[in-house]
Structures are given as structure tokens and as C-alpha cells.
A = this chain, B = another copy of it.
Amino acid sequence: MSKYRVLIDANDEKGLVHKVSTVFYNNDLNILSNSEFVDKENNKFFMRSVVDGDIDISKLRESLKEVLPKSAGIKLIEPKKKNIIIMATKELHALGDILIRHEADELDANILAVISNYDELESLVTRFNIPYITVSHEGLERIEHEQKIIECIDSFKDVDYIVLAKYMRILTPRFVETYEDKIINIHHSFLPAFIGANPYKQAYNRGVKIIGATAHFVNNNLDEGPIIAQEVIHVDHAYSWKDMQRSGRDVEKVVLSRALKLALEDRIFVYANKTVIF
């Protein structure tokens, strides 16, 4: 007896739920949970089921292929720990939150390594018996520096997600394309407001009454990738931009950990620069 997550996306047409659930039924599988969504504007169908039973995975895949449109995306995923690499710079709040959740067994993940362009966080990370790799950018062109990081990442096998836990350098299109839909970033602002440098200072100057943070997949439009999760807190005139930054950190870590959890549980579909999350 085993359990699988079945993720299907397809152009919508009549009978998809019927067809998929019939496949599950004929394969003698029990549906533990089931979510569907049709984006009428784009005519796209999304379905995520968790099934259990005596699963013959290749037979199940074939049966689904038979009934679904050719263009359909079908993922059959066994729930198990995913491999993640965390990239950071010097700030420890978001990284620290992930380390503690990892320690508490809240995250279904192996942290393969933490990569940083500085060594400030080494002492913290190695305490948790997690490899810390400093890849300094000093004296390197951006492309050279990234090449070194890519080599570092690729020295690990089966990396599922790269988590940017306040990694403060801009990534090149090449890097982003190498790990498409695999890079999760926390942006220290309620996107799309305050894109770019020092959003807290921007927010302070604008006199906003709410600040927020956004976790998103990274693509080649800087700060413009598909949004996974957002959260906000109220602030007032008495907050300096440093106060906003301090308070913002609490939101950042909450949102990044929430997004990571959704990714680890295979709850996210990405399309049209947006996400469907079950």
C-alpha cells in the first residue's frame, strides 16, 4: 500500500473529473483528497488528488495518459522528503526559521547545503550539521560568480528547490533558466509595490499603513515571478524605516516558510506567470 500525489493540468474539456476518477476507481485506488480548478479565462483545468492503494505507478500513468488530452501535464509524486538548497547573504531571520522548522521536523525536506556569498552565517548553519558553502563574489564578474554557484549546486544530486532566504544579489537570466520553477524567493515587500532596492525605505517615504512580504518563484522578470504567498502587517507613523524592516522580517520569514511548505507538499501549479495552489 502506498500513497501518491497526482497533479494534472490540461486544456479543459467535459468529463475530465469523470475520466480521472474512473482511472482511480479502476486501479482500485482510494481518493484521500481531491481539488480541482478550472480557469475559465484560459480554459485550463487543474487537479490535485492524493490517492492510496496498491499502486502500479507505470500502469497508473498509462491509464491517465489514455484518457487525458495529449497536451496534459501528469505528475505522479510519491510523498517523500525533497532536497533543497538554501541561498543566503548575511541576514539570518528567514534562514533561521527554516533551520528551526527543519529541526522540528515540520518541513518535509533535506537541506543539502546553505550557499552564501559571505561567511557570516556559517557558525549558525554548521551547528545544525548542514554544510555551509561560501562562494564569495569578490573580484568576480556576476557571470563567473554564478557559474561557481551553479557548479556548487550541481555537485548535489536531485535538487528539488533552491530557496533564496534573503539572498541579496540579482540573478542573471542564465541562472534563472537553469532552475526554472525551482527557485523560491522572499521579496521584502508586498509586490508589486516597492519593487527594487530598499522597499522599506520606499514604504516609509510613501507613508504606507501596511507593509508586507511576498514569496514567489523567480523568473527573468526581476521581482515579477509567480506569487506563491503574501502576508502583511499594520504599521503607523511612529515606525522608522528601520522599524519597518525589523517588523517586516517577521512577515518575511512567515511567508517564505509558508511558500516552501506548499512547494514541498506539491500543492503549486505554475502557469501564465501565476500560481494555482491547492
On A, residues with C-beta under 8 Å from B are 14-15, 17-18, 21-22, 24-25, 28, 30-41, 91-93, 96-97, 99-101, 103-104, 106, 124, 127-128, 190-194, 206-210, 212, 226-232, 236-238, 240, 246, 249-250, 254, 272-277
Contacts and interface: CB of A to CB of B under 8 A. Distances in A.
A190 B207 contact: no
Contacts of A34: 17, 36
Given A14-B28, A92-B103, A191-B208, 11 more contacts: A37-B238, A96-B104, A191-B193, A192-B193, A192-B194, A207-B227, A208-B227, A208-B230, A210-B212, A236-B277, A237-B274
Contacts of A190: 190, 193, 210
A106 B93 CA distance: 9
Contacts of A101: 93
A205 to B, nearest CB: 8
A36 B230 CA distance: 26
9 contacts: A21-B21, A91-B104, A93-B100, A96-B104, A97-B100, A106-B246, A206-B273, A208-B227, A232-B232
Contacts of A249: 106
Contacts of A22: 18, 21-22
A240 B41 contact: yes
B25 A18 contact: yes
B17 A21 contact: yes
Contacts of A32: 38
A250 B254 contact: yes
A248 to B, nearest CB: 12
A45 B146 CA distance: 49
A35 B191 CA distance: 30
A220 to B, nearest CB: 16
Nearest to A231: B210
Contacts of A250: 254
5 closest Cβ contacts across the A-B interface?
A207-B274, A96-B100, A18-B25, A18-B21, A193-B193
Contacts of A246: 106
A182 to B, nearest CB: 18
Nearest to A250: B254
Which of A17, A32, A106 neighbours the largest number of chain B CB atoms within 10 Å of its CB? A17
A101 B246 CA distance: 11
Contacts of A106: 93, 246, 249
